[in-house]
Amino acid sequence: MRLSQFHLATVKEVPADAEIASHRLMLRAGMIRKLASGLYTWSPLGLRVLRKVETIVREEMDRAGAIEMLMPSVQPRELWEETGRWEKFGGQLLKIKDRKGQEFCYGPTHEEVVTDFARNELKSYKQLPVNFYQIQTKFRDEIRPRFGVMRAREFLMKDAYSFHLTQDSLAETYAAMYQAYVRIFTRLGLTFRAVQADTGAIGGNASHEFQVLADSGEDAIAFSDGSDYAANLEKAEALAPAAARPAPAAALQRVDTPTQKTIDDIAGFLQLSPRQCVKTLLVRGRDGLVALCLRGDHEINEVKAGKLAELPGESVLASEDEILATTGTRPGFIGPVGLPASIPVIVDRDAAVLADFVCGGNVDRTHCTGANWERDARITRVADLRNVVEGDLSPDGSGVLHIARGIEVGHVFQLGTKYAEALGATVVDETGKPQVMTMGCYGIGVSRIVAAAIEQRHDEAGILWPEAMAPWRVAVCVINPKNAPAVSAAAEALYQALRQRGIEALLDDRGVRAGSMFADMELIGIPHRVVVSERGLAAGTLEYRARGNSESRSLTEDELLALLG
Ligand code: ATP
Ligand code: MG
Ligand code: MG
Ligand code: MG
């Protein structure tokens, strides 16, 4: 690419709301421009990087035997009614109406659509297993879009869905997807960890997240120094042995709560998606305490918690340790409302803030407490939710837990029969009997990866792309091209030589000052830089510098080509 014919638009100033490095650098490099909250335009420069990521994801999905397809982003309400998620999905679901008044949503995910496709297309066990994927735009009306494309409302996801006759077959594809993800993030040049993820109230099956390690990450992950154990902190908290926990705190505090609200009301009030309500705890007690623990993902509302008012006794709100101290039992048992038993729940001690009605919920891994339903109608306190601490014993007993922050860039999940059952997606088995298919789903945040990579790799001057993600591998910087035709010609010849060898090169032929040319190339993160100047030409050499290295070297063209080859 000749830069004189490209649209490069680097800027010095960025808005104050760009809180983290990747957001600032993407704006400064001109990779993205904000259209509205959570909505971003990818400039030609940004798109080059996005496509690099997409290509690697596609290659590895194909290699792992998945088959690409493309589903609509606009999805009919009726389909979402079939799984019950039209209501259950919560505030992240953007609902729209067409001119006839028919209702649709802008797809935040595609289980419904792909299962509908599967129920029509797949008839026999002989067609299984099959793994469909797409790379497509999603919309989630995030409660707090932030960090640019890291947590956007419209974003690019690779989502795959596999269909099976048996759990064993699902486990096999799940393992293949896990390996494909390891390959993808390794090829992208990222430092990452696969961690056990929380499967929420629906429980049961396996789930792993792929977390790019970065201090600004919204997730906390715990990993053992004695084994491969690694988990999202939520999961680690659920599993951590009691001995590793801090000592129980003081007695329960009571709340006088004349409440008539349902759990759905609470979720609605907090404007959280059900998934974000992972750790809301309300406790009512009389003789034994009854804990009403919301631990959900998308399915929380399905659990249909009963009216709080129907529970007997006074209301109290307590932290887990307080409940443990008072009852000798960890909270997580649910009596009258029909939630599954033994759901582990952890709540911040600060949840014991008193009010007419107090509840808590998770927003972006942060536990919000002190929401006063009756009085303030707003969240008044935010406290970090963290029960497992650095140095705790790992749940598998293998060693000491360390805690790091991560950015969730991928998520694999064994879904089981939930969606296929709801939508009646069956195939006939060997005996000719219809069987509900078993499913897995596998997501990657393609656009989030771009930001995550920058978060992990940058310096004061700008981005440090891993080679696999760089918009171009090498920048050819031409000094004073207008005044020195020989320099211009030499740069052109080098540019052609690079192209012939399949080395992606950016020829900076804009004729701008050397200083601003170098600053731009550093900002946009090109891994290799070559300077073609009159002086170098006279000496028969090129000045080469690797991004992130402060030393330049003089190389002949052959040496340079060998180095980049
Ligand atoms: P998060 O916990 O960050 O909200 P999620 O668990 O809701 O993510 P999934 O439903 O697992 O997301 O979707 C698959 C992938 O899509 C995630 O692993 C993440 O990389 C990406 N993703 C999810 N939400 C967003 C978003 N708002 N902006 C950009 N990427 C996203
Ligand atoms: Mg989310
Ligand atoms: Mg998540
Ligand atoms: Mg996830």
What CATH number is given to the structural domain containing 210? 3.30.930.10
The interface pTM score, or ipTM, of the predicted complex is: 0.99
> Which atom of ligand 1 is closest in space to residue 410's alpha carbon?
18
- Rounded distance from Cα 268 to ligand 2 centre (Å): 16
At residue 239, the pLDDT reads 56
166, exposed or middle or buried, with CB in 10 Å at 0-12, 13-18, 19+?
A: middle
Q: Are residues 193 and 104 in the same domain?
A: yes
Contact between 301 and 264 under an 8 Å Cβ cutoff? The reply is: yes
Q: Which helix or strand (DSSP H or E) is residue 495 part of?
A: helix 485-500
- Co-location of 283 and 182 in the same domain: no
Kindly list the distances between the CA atom of residue 373 and the CA atoms of 199, 256, 259, 305, 377, in Å, as whole numbers in the listed order.
29, 13, 10, 18, 5
Task: Mark whether 411 and 495 lie in a shared domain.
Answer: no
Instruction: Please indicate, yes or no, if residue 293 is contained in any of the structural domains.
Output: yes
Question: 509 CA distance to ligand 4 centroid (A)?
Answer: 44
298 lines ligand 1 (CB under 6 A): no
Most confident of 365-379, 384-398, 508-522: 508-522
Residue with tokens 């949503």: 105
Neighbour tally for 77: CB within 10 Å: 15
Give the chain's mean pLDDT.
78
CA of 408 to the centre of ligand 1 (A): 7
From 154, 448, 454, mutation site for ligand 1 pocket: most ligand atoms within 8 A of C-beta: 448
One domain for residues 219 and 77: yes
Q: Based on the domain organization, do 65 and 152 belong to the same domain?
A: yes
Is it the case that residue 264 has pLDDT exceeding 70? no
Query: How confident is residue 185, by pLDDT bands cut at 50, 70 and 90?
Result: very high
DSSP 339: P
Residue 104 has pLDDT above 70, yes or no: yes
The reported pLDDT for the residue numbered 401 is 78
Average pLDDT of 238-256? Answer: 35
* Ligand 1 pocket, mutate which of 157, 198, 209 (most atoms under 8 A from CB): 157
Ligand nearest to the CA of 407: 1
**Local structure of 483: helix, strand or coil:** coil
449 and 481 co-located in one domain: no
Q: What is the domain count for the chain?
A: 3
Atom of ligand 1 nearest to the CA of 413: 11
Ligand 1 near 151 CB (within 6 A): yes
Q: pLDDT band for position 508 (50/70/90)?
A: very high
Token output for 347: 């709540």
The average pLDDT across 371-399 equals: 46
The per-residue pLDDT for 391 is 74
CATH number, domain with residue 379 = 3.90.960.10
Q: Is 353 within a domain? A: yes
Positive or negative, the CA dihedral 250, 255, 259, 261 is: negative
- pLDDT given for residue 205 in this prediction: 65
Question: 67-68 and 130-139 as β-strands: parallel, antiparallel, unpaired?
Answer: parallel
Look at ligand 1, atom 8, and give the residue with the nearest C-alpha: 408
Q: Is the pLDDT of residue 400 over 70?
A: yes
SS3 sequence of 16-34: CCCCCHHHHHHHHCCCEEE
Taking alpha carbons only, the member of 182, 231, 225, 239 closest to residue 208 is 231
pLDDT score of 565 more than 90: no
Residue 152 CB less than 6 A away from ligand 1: yes
Nearest to 199 by CA among 338, 336, 88, 343: 343
Same domain, 265 and 229: no
Q: Is the CB of 411 under 6 A from ligand 1?
A: yes
Strands 280-285 and 314-317: antiparallel
Question: Whose atoms come closest to the Cα of 443: which ligand?
Answer: 1
d(CA 444, CA 430): 34
Which pLDDT value is given to residue 306? Answer: 31
Q: What is the number of the ligand 1 atom nearest to the C-alpha of 444?
A: 15
More confidently predicted of 321 and 142:
142
Q: Is residue 390 part of a domain?
A: no
pTM to 2 decimals?
0.78
Q: The CATH number of the domain where 520 resides is what?
A: 3.40.50.800
198 CA → ligand 4 middle, Å: 9
Residue 364 has pLDDT above 90, yes or no: no
pLDDT of residue 369: 34
Residue 281 near residue 292 (C-beta atoms within 8 A):
yes
pLDDT higher than threshold 70 for residue 58: yes
Q: Distances from the Cα of 383 to the Cαs of 30, 50, 253, 360, in angstroms?
A: 35, 35, 18, 10
Nearest residue CA, atom 26 of ligand 1? 151
9 domain residue, yes or no: no
**Which of 246, 277, 299, 260 lies closest to 361 in space, CA to CA?**
277
pLDDT single digits (tens) 382-394: 222 234 567 777 7
- Cβ of 235 less than 6 Å from ligand 1: no
Range of the domain at 285: 253-383
Residues 221 and 257 in one domain: no
3-state secondary structure of 352: helix
Q: Residue 280 above 80 pLDDT?
A: no
Q: Which atom of ligand 1 is nearest to the CA of 209?
A: 18
Question: Per-residue confidence at 233, pLDDT binned at 50, 70, 90?
Answer: confident
What's the pLDDT score for residue 225?
A: 86
347 within domain boundaries:
yes
Q: What angle do CA 477, 478, 479 make, to 5 degrees?
A: 115
pLDDT at 190 over 50: yes
Cβ–ligand 1 distance for 410 under 6 Å, the answer yes
Letter string b/e over residues 6-37, b meaning 16 or more CB atoms within 10 A of that residue's CB: bebebeeeeeeebebbbbbbbbbbbbbebeee
